C-alpha cells in the first residue's frame, strides 16, 4: 500500500477561476515545507492531447521533456515547483478512452460489457495513482478540469469519490474552488452559488473538505462562518482567494489564509514551522521593485488571447526580475505589420521577439519585424517559427534569394531554406507526430549562446515539423548568419546568430518552457539584458 496522499482540486460556479494557480500555490507551500509534491491535470475533453488544438481554444500547448503536448497549467506547475512534469501529469478523456478501447481490442475484458463504470473510472483511477505509486512523491495534487456538474467531468468526479473511499481517512481530500460574486447594486458578496456547487458535488457523493473562495472583496468572518455552516466544512477550511496583482503572490496569500496548514492537518501530516520561501520571496522582491522598464515587442498572430503565449510572458517576468527591470511586453499582431508601417509600429522598442506559430497567416509581418530588428541593431530573439523567419529574412534580403521561404508556407518555393524534416516526410497522422520534447544541442564556443548558457551542451524542448535546410548553410554562413548550435546526432541546425549584430539569436527550440522562478531561462535573461543595454543607449542619445 502506497503512503502517498492525494489532494483533488475541483471547481464550481464558473470556469477560469485559476484552479491551476491554486493547485500550484498549494504545491509550492507543501514543497517549501519539505514534502515531495507533484501536480496532475485531468482534462475532460476528447482530444487525446491538446497538440491538435488551436491556441484560441485553450491557450498555449505546453511541451514536457518527454515530448508530451499538454495543458498550459503544467507550465504553471513547473514554473512554481521547478520540477519537470511528464506525460503522466496530463490525462484527457480522449487518452482514457483510447487506452480502454485498445485494451478491449486486445481482449483484456473478454466476455464483459465495457462501461463507463467500472472500466473508464478504473482507468482514471489508475492514471491518478501512477504518480503516487512511483514512490517519488509524498503528495499528489490532481486538478480536475472543467466545472462540477458538467456532463463530461462526471466520470472523473465518480473516480474521485471511489478513490477517496478506497484510500481511507486522512489519505486524501478535496479542495473545491468556487466564486463568491459581488453584486455592486446590492453592495454584497453572495454565497448561494457556492452553496449550490458544493451541493452538486455532494449529489455525486463527494463532500468538499476545503473551500477556496475566489473573490474581489475581503470575506468577513460572518460570511466565512455562513459558508462553513451551509457547506459543511470547518471555518478554518474556508479560504479566501482575493484577486492578486501577480500570480506569484498567491502562495503567500494562501499561506496567510492557512490553506497548507489545514490541508496537512486533514491529511494527518505535520505542519509545524514555516515553509521555506526565502528564494521565492527574493524573486518577488526583485519583480516588484524594478529599477527600469524595458519595452519588448512580442510579434505573433494569436496575440488577442494572452494565454496563447503564456510561457513566453512568464519567462519575461522571470528574466525581468533577474535583471531587476520591468519588461513591458507589447503584443503586436504580425498581420498588422508591413513594410510601410513597420518603422512606425516598432520604433521605441528595446527588443523584438518573434513568436512560434503554424501556417501562413501573418508570416510576412514576422519577416518584416525580423528585418527591422536586424537593420536597426535591435536585440532579437526568434523562437521556433521566429527562428525560421529569421533565416528566410536573411536569405531574401541579404543573400538575395528571391522568394526564399519555408515549404510549410510555399511548397513550390524556389529556395526552400526551411524544409520538412526527413523523418516527417511520410507522416500522415497529425496528432503527436512533430519533433517533440528534449533534444541535445552542442553550442559553438565564443558565441552569444555559449556565453548566456555558460555550458557547451544543452537540452531544450522542441515542437515543430520543419527545419533549417543544411543545403543553404554554407551560403548563409559566408554571408554572416552563423550556426551556433547543432544537434550532435542529426546535425540539425538549432541556433543561428549574426555576430555583426549586437544581439541576434534564433532558436529552433522553445526556451520558454524551461523558465522557472528558481531558474529564469538564460536566453531570456540574456535577451532582456541586451534590451536593457539598448534602452540605456537610447536614453544617452536622447540627452545629447
Ligand atoms: N510551423 C513551424 C514548424 O512546424 C514552427 C512550429 C513552432 O513555431 N512551434 O516547423
Which pLDDT tens digit goes with each residue over 352-387?
Answer: 999 999 998 999 999 999 999 999 999 999 999 999
What pLDDT is attached to residue 305? 86
Per-residue pLDDT reduced to its tens digit, 20-32: 999 999 999 999 9
Per-residue pLDDT reduced to its tens digit, 376-418: 999 999 999 999 999 999 999 999 999 999 999 999 999 999 9
Say what the pTM is.
0.95
What pLDDT is attached to residue 544? 56
336 tagged catalytic: no
379 lines ligand 1 (CB under 6 A): no
501 tagged catalytic: no
Q: Does 538 have pLDDT greater than 90?
A: no
Question: Helices 250-257 and 19-32: crossing angle, nearest 10°?
Answer: 70
Looking at residues 134-146, what average pLDDT do you find? Answer: 94
512 tagged catalytic: yes
Q: Does 1 have pLDDT greater than 70?
A: no
What pLDDT is attached to residue 419? 95
Using pLDDT thresholds of 50, 70 and 90, give the confidence band for residue 441. very high
Q: Which of 300, 367, 382, 385 to mutate to test the pocket of ligand 1 (most atoms within 8 A of CB)?
A: 385
386 lines ligand 1 (CB under 6 A): no
Long-range Cβ pairs for the range 259-265 (8 Å, 24+): 259/25, 259/26, 259/29, 259/175, 259/210, 259/212, 260/26, 260/29, 260/30, 260/33, 262/210, 262/234, 262/236, 262/237, 263/7, 263/26, 263/30, 263/173, 263/175, 263/210, 264/30, 264/33
Q: Which of 61, 512, 521, 534 is catalytic?
A: 512
Per-residue pLDDT reduced to its tens digit, 43-99: 999 999 888 888 888 889 999 999 999 999 999 999 999 999 999 999 999 999 999
What pLDDT is attached to residue 541? 66
The lowest-confidence range among 230-234, 343-347, 413-417 is 343-347
Amino acid at each position: 500500500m502506497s503512503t502517498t496522499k492525494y489532494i483533488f482540486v475541483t471547481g464550481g460556479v464558473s470556469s477560469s477561476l485559476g484552479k491551476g494557480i491554486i493547485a500550484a500555490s498549494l504545491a509550492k507551500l507543501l514543497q517549501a515545507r519539505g514534502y515531495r509534491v507533484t501536480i496532475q491535470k485531468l482534462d475532460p475533453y476528447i482530444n487525446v492531447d491538446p497538440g491538435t488544438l488551436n491556441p484560441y481554444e485553450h491557450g498555449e500547448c505546453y511541451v514536457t521533456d518527454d515530448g508530451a503536448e499538454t495543458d498550459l497549467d503544467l507550465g504553471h506547475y513547473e514554473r512554481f515547483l521547478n520540477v519537470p512534469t511528464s506525460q503522466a501529469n496530463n490525462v484527457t478523456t480522449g487518452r482514457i478512452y483510447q487506452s480502454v478501447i485498445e485494451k478491449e481490442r486486445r481482449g483484456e475484458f473478454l466476455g464483459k460489457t465495457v462501461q463507463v463504470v467500472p472500466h473508464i473510472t478504473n482507468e482514471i483511477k489508475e492514471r491518478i495513482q501512477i504518480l503516487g505509486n512511483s514512490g517519488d512523491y509524498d503528495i499528489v495534487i490532481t486538478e480536475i478540469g472543467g466545472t462540477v456538474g458538467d456532463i463530461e467531468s462526471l466520470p472523473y468526479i465518480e473516480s474521485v469519490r471511489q478513490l477517496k473511499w478506497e484510500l481511507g481517512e486522512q489519505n486524501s481530500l478535496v479542495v473545491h474552488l468556487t466564486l463568491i460574486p459581488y453584486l455592486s447594486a446590492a453592495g454584497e458578496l453572495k454565497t448561494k452559488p457556492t452553496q449550490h456547487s458544493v451541493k452538486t458535488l455532494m449529489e455525486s457523493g463527494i463532500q468538499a473538505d476545503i473551500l477556496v473562495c475566489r473573490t474581489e472583496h475581503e470575506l468577513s468572518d460572518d460570511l466565512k462562518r455562513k459558508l462553513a455552516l451551509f457547506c459543511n466544512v470547518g471555518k478554518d477550511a474556508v479560504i479566501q482567494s482575493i484577486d492578486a496583482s501577480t500570480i506569484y503572490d498567491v502562495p503567500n496569500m494562501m499561506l496567510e489564509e492557512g490553506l497548507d496548514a489545514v490541508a496537512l492537518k486533514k491529511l494527518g501530516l505535520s505542519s509545524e514551522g514555516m515553509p521555506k520561501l526565502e528564494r521565492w520571496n527574493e524573486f518577488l522582491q526583485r519583480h516588484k521593485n524594478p529599477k527600469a522598464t524595458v519595452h519588448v515587442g512580442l510579434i505573433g498572430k494569436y496575440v488577442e488571447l494572452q494565454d496563447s503565449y503564456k510561457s513566453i510572458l512568464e519567462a519575461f517576468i522571470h528574466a525581468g526580475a533577474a535583471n531587476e527591470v520591468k519588461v513591458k511586453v507589447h503584443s503586436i499582431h504580425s498581420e498588422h505589420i508591413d513594410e510601410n508601417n513597420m518603422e512606425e509600429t516598432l520604433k521605441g522598442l528595446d527588443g523584438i521577439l518573434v513568436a512560434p506559430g503554424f501556417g501562413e497567416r501573418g508570416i510576412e509581418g514576422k519577416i518584416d519585424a525580423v528585418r527591422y530588428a536586424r537593420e536597426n541593431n535591435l536585440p532579437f530573439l526568434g523562437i521556433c517559427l521566429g527562428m525560421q523567419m529569421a533565416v528566410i529574412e536573411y536569405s531574401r534580403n541579404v543573400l538575395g534569394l528571391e522568394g526564399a521561404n519555408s515549404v510549410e508556407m510555399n511548397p513550390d518555393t524556389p529556395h526552400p531554406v526551411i524544409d520538412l524534416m526527413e523523418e516527417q516526410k511520410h507522416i500522415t497522422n497529425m496528432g503527436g507526430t512533430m519533433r517533440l520534447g528534449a533534444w541535445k544541442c552542442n553550442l559553438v564556443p565564443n558565441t552569444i549562446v555559449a556565453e548566456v548558457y555558460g555550458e557547451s551542451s544543452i537540452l531544450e524542448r522542441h515542437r515543430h515539423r520543419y527545419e533549417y535546410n543544411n543545403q543553404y548553410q554554407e551560403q548563409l554562413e559566408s554571408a554572416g548568419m552563423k550556426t551556433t548550435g547543432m544537434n550532435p546526432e542529426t546535425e540539425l541546425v538549432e541556433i543561428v546568430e549574426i555576430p555583426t549584430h549586437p544581439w541576434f539569436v534564433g532558436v529552433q527550440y522553445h526556451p520558454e518552457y524551461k523558465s522557472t522562478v528558481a531558474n529564469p531561462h538564460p536566453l531570456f535573461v540574456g535577451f532582456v539584458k541586451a534590451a536593457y543595454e539598448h534602452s540605456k543607449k537610447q536614453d544617452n542619445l536622447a540627452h545629447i
